[in-house]
Structure 1
Amino acid sequence: MRSITILSIGVLFVFYQFFTGNSSVADEWSLEEQTLKYEWGLEKQTQKNEWGLEEQITKHDKSDSIILHYDGKTWGCIYNGYSVWLNNIYGFSDNDIFAVGEHGVILHFDGKSWIKQESQVTSRLNKIWGSSHNNIYISGDYGTIIHYNGKEWKRYKMRTSNWFSNIWGFDEKYIFIVGALGEILHYDGKTWKEQNSGTINWLYGIGGNSKNNIYAVGDYGTILHYDGREWKISALNTNKRLTSVCVTDSNNVFVAGADGLILHYDGINWIRQRSGTNNWLRRIWGINNNTIFAVGDHGTILHYDGTKWNKQKSSTNYLLLGIWGNKKDNVYVVGIKSDSYYDHLLDVSSRKSGN
């Protein structure tokens, strides 16, 4: 499996070199007009594939993916996916939630059932963000960016085959994507343009609370800050991979990463917080300074109450990769069985974490 992981890195790097060799033609991209052929190998959307909550099983140790729900007291499994590997989840209300993953899979929850949508792509989808139900973006492998207008998904025609790990936006005309080798793209409502990140380290997380207070994090303790004009690197005393960032305000920035690492920025200093776990943390998300969650390996779910981090019982050992909620007692998490399919590419350098 290690060799497969290394091979994956090599393939991505070759594609990157091939498609970005001429930087003068790789700074703008636009939306494809043509309709792409639907190539996902499962049933067609016309069959209205539905997974109703009434059909879910209680035990999920044999399913490839799960979706957990938190009601403010306990976590429970509400979906089991077979031959479906989910990486991320995002929504707008209790009856309007999207989950994305491997082979271009997109599931939509309407309050009753999870329904598969036609994504127009077969590559893995890593992260989803939207300003409304009619304006949603997904980033993925091999330069994949797709957009949803409330009716259908369309793919942007990109001049890069780079790996896009994460996407975040302030509004529909201010969106960022980060990925392999320090790549950062910015969308102004018309075109995607490449920005100078100042690093070649892989970036895995991005988030902010305004147009001039945005953070991106990645390999070897990389933290970048965007002030609305340029990206600057913050110096940290760590070499660990940083996977995710949550910005509640300018004086409260939380970063999660390898080996249970959680960092907090108070507007002046970065301070390591006690997480109580050595498990890798894959995503950190919050509503306010007193309601923040971090999820990761071996079913790890942590909750921050404004004072300290506490472990919560997930009743699973799955690799938890994505989290979203609209209030403190309505939170969703997606995860995959770590040995169900492959060594997840998000772990491409899991074994090279440092101090």
Structure 2
Amino acid sequence: VYVVGDNNVILRYNGSEWETVTHGYTVNFQSVWGTSADDIYAVGNSGTRLRYNGSTWNQETYGMAVNDIWADTYNYYYSVGDQGEIYENYGSWNSMTSNTTTPLNSIFGNDTNIFAVGNDGIALIYASSNWTAVSSNTNETLKAVWANNETAIAVGMNGEILQYKNSAWSAMTSGTGEILHGIWGNSSKYLTAVGSNGTCLQFDGVNWTSVALPVSAQMYDIYGLSRNRMFAVGTQGTILKYAPINHTCYQNTLSDPIALTIVESEAEQVTVTLSWSNADLLTSSGFYINNSQTTSYTFTSTAFENDRITLTIMPITDASGSSVITMTVTDSTGLTGVDTIDFQVIKA
């Protein structure tokens, strides 16, 4: 996980603590996105784009201030900026025709469309190789947008929340007048938005409700690896981690069974694959799925039933500490779902 900010700041989370990343450039960063551990962009003022190749950060400068960056599943990058600029990169940066000079603050997309939003309620959609303005039915500045294949959600000034569905934007009831700066979702039925004065809202598919945060800072953005592992960032270096699923065991002791539930809409082959962040604590020989020593487990699901498997873990001898365990579920069509566990080993 990477976060960026003013005064040249890039931080990297190694699974247990934040580390300062040295890059050698002077930038007030606005956004960061990566497609892999060795392909990451950090963007900011004066059109600056720093690209990390796995060993060094290199500068690429195009256009005016860059406010946001996002990449699709084909690893094509898109950025938006202060004068309505939109750039795309699939080998090199190229300007796209946005037909606006209104500042654009955020960009995000799904498998078929890309959405960009900005000041004065501007909302653009990219489809069939063209950017087109779509009425948002608001003049409020929109700060952020998130999308999946079912919907798109935009948030902004005065608690504005909009949903894009059936080719139109419509207002949602947020219950707040605070500025909403960031939004992220695990699905269209589980969304989290953050904003000014420590505002945090969660959507359950029907209603937005307020969630208390341990700070009152301006929260500027949020992103998650799963609905049980999210990071939010704000003023004065504030970083919050949401990770309610935690499992603990003692040093040199097999963990209690961890129950995993998987629901598929069809009876098909499903594979559960495990990865972990701390190689000094865990190794592949220490994972057991349904009592089989493995990090990749395949079974036949039952349509619309709760398929339950159990995970037990044996840490490396005499090791203690914590690790994030990532579980990736892949079905026969290639669709995937991801969830995470915070796993801690305590000294005996």
TM-score, normalised via structure 2 length: 0.66
Give the alignment partner of residue 289 of structure 1, picking from 170, 188, 203: 188
Give the counterpart letter for 2:117 in structure 1. V
Tell me whether 1:181 sits opposite 2:80 in the alignment.
no
In the TM superposition, residue 276 of structure 1 has moved relative to its aligned partner by 0.8
Q: RCO greater where, 1 or 2, for CA within 8 Å and sep 6 or more?
A: 1
Contact kept? 1:120, 1:155, Cα under 8 Å: no
Number of residue pairs the alignment of both structures matches: 237
Give the alignment partner of residue 99 of structure 2, picking from 183, 188, 198: 198
In the TM superposition, residue 112 of structure 1 has moved relative to its aligned partner by 2.2
Aligned residue for 2:72, secondary structure, equals strand
Q: Which residue of 2 aligns with 1:134?
A: 38
User: Going by fraction, where is helix more abundant, 1 or 2?
Assistant: 1
> Matched residues in 2 for 1:172 and 1:146: separation?
20
> Matched residues in 1 for 2:62 and 2:199: separation?
38
Give the alignment partner of residue 222 of structure 1, picking from 115, 122, 126: 122
Q: Which residue of 1 aligns with 2:145?
A: 245
> Matched residues in 2 for 1:228 and 1:119: separation?
38
Give the alignment partner of residue 152 of structure 1, picking from 28, 36, 56: 56
> Matched residues in 2 for 1:323 and 1:258: separation?
17
The 1:314–1:267 alpha-carbon spacing in structure 2 relative to 1, beyond 3 Å, is: same
> Matched residues in 1 for 2:77 and 2:62: separation?
18
> Matched residues in 1 for 2:226 and 2:120: separation?
33
Q: Which residue of 2 aligns with 1:255?
A: 154
Percent identity, aligned pairs only, is 32
Aligned residue for 1:284, secondary structure, equals strand
> Matched residues in 1 for 2:34 and 2:145: separation?
17
> Matched residues in 2 for 1:284 and 1:105: separation?
22
Contact kept? 1:295, 1:321, Cα under 8 Å: yes
Aligned residue for 2:7, secondary structure, equals helix
> Matched residues in 2 for 1:253 and 1:276: separation?
19
In the TM superposition, residue 218 of structure 1 has moved relative to its aligned partner by 0.4
Structure of larger gyration radius: 2
Contact kept? 2:83, 2:102, Cα under 8 Å: yes
In the TM superposition, residue 141 of structure 1 has moved relative to its aligned partner by 0.6
> Matched residues in 2 for 1:273 and 1:123: separation?
36
> Matched residues in 2 for 1:172 and 1:140: separation?
23
In the TM superposition, residue 268 of structure 1 has moved relative to its aligned partner by 3.4
Q: String of CA shifts for 1:31-75, please: whole Å, max 9, x gaps.
A: xxxxxxxxxxxxxxxxxxxxxxxxxxxxxxxxxxxxxxxxxxxxx
Q: String of CA shifts for 1:153-192, please: whole Å, max 9, x gaps.
A: 1111x253x110000010464110001110000001x210
> Matched residues in 2 for 1:138 and 1:288: separation?
26
Aligned residue for 2:146, secondary structure, equals strand
The 1:271–1:107 alpha-carbon spacing in structure 2 relative to 1, beyond 3 Å, is: same
Give the counterpart letter for 1:206 in structure 2. I
> Matched residues in 1 for 2:144 and 2:38: separation?
26
Aligned residue for 1:278, secondary structure, equals coil
| Runs of 4+, deviation exceeding 4 Å | none
Give the alignment partner of residue 336 of structure 1, picking from 235, 238, 262: 235
> Matched residues in 1 for 2:223 and 2:167: separation?
28
Q: Which residue of 2 aligns with 1:233?
A: 133
> Matched residues in 2 for 1:172 and 1:124: separation?
28
Contact kept? 1:324, 1:333, Cα under 8 Å: yes
Contact kept? 1:129, 1:136, Cα under 8 Å: yes
Over aligned residues, Cα RMSD in angstroms? Answer: 1.4
> Matched residues in 1 for 2:152 and 2:75: separation?
23
Residues 1-355 of structure 1 mapped to structure 2, 5 A cutoff: 97-156=1-60, 158-160=61-63, 162-171=64-73, 173-188=75-90, 190-210=91-111, 212-249=112-149, 251-337=150-236
In the TM superposition, residue 337 of structure 1 has moved relative to its aligned partner by 4.3
